[in-house]
Amino acid sequence: MSRYLTKGRIALLVIFSVLIIDQVIKVYIKTHMYWHESIRVTDWFYIYFTENNGMAFGMEIFGKLFLSLFRIVAVTAIGWYLARIIKQGLKTGYIVFISLILTGALGNIIDSMFYGVLFSESTHSQIASFMPEGGGYASFFYGKVVDMFYFPIIETNWPQWMPFVGGEHFIFFSPIFNFADAAISCGIIALLLFYSKYLNDYSYHVTKKS
């Protein structure tokens, strides 16, 4: 069995599995829910459909085109790095976590590049349709990233006696994210937890060789 599950094939399995799950969830949400529609799963977990122009967890810092091009450059660099570490036979866990980061970034690139062309706009009163007659809601590269996972684990008000924020509403955890964002976060956290020393050693050897 191990003869068939080479490090390269494991990486491809992770990439295709995560990418398919991510896109199936996004397309389903996009074509079945109104914009900002919410479905309560538990008190601390909601399916909340929203879209953003920015980076992971809805952050918006730079222009849309810049972000799309930056994602492509980043995915290309990570893909090159992944191919390199597979060829070098690095640890399987390390390869899996790098694959998660790569796939998460790739999943959001697909939204940015194609969703504006493939779908009509989602609104409070209109559910998006696939390949609408009048064309999509945006041009190539200007699509919005679909987000849907919302975990308001703690929702309360700050005590009145607290300076600056007293009496204000507080939510932990407030970002709304998607499966691709989760793959990126899990990959990064796992690398820091299990391969921080390994990362440092590898960086040292690469720098020394160059």
Q: Which amino acid type is present at position 192?
A: L
Beta bridge partners of residue 42, listed in sequence order: 45
Map residue 67 onto helix, strand or coil: helix
The values of phi and psi at residue 176, to 5°, are -105, 130
**Catalytic, out of 43, 111, 147, 201:** 147
* 3-state DSSP of 87-131: HHCCCHHHHHHHHHHHHHHHHHHHHHHHHHHHECCCCCCCCCCEC
Active site (annotated) includes residue 111 = no
Active site (annotated) includes residue 201 = no
The gap from C-alpha 124 to its chain's centroid, in whole angstroms, comes to 24
Beta bridge partners of residue 171, listed in sequence order: 155
**CA–CA gap between residue 77 and residue 193 (Å, rounded):** 23
**Catalytic, out of 22, 43, 181, 201:** 181
Map residue 1 onto helix, strand or coil: coil
Catalytic residues: 147, 181
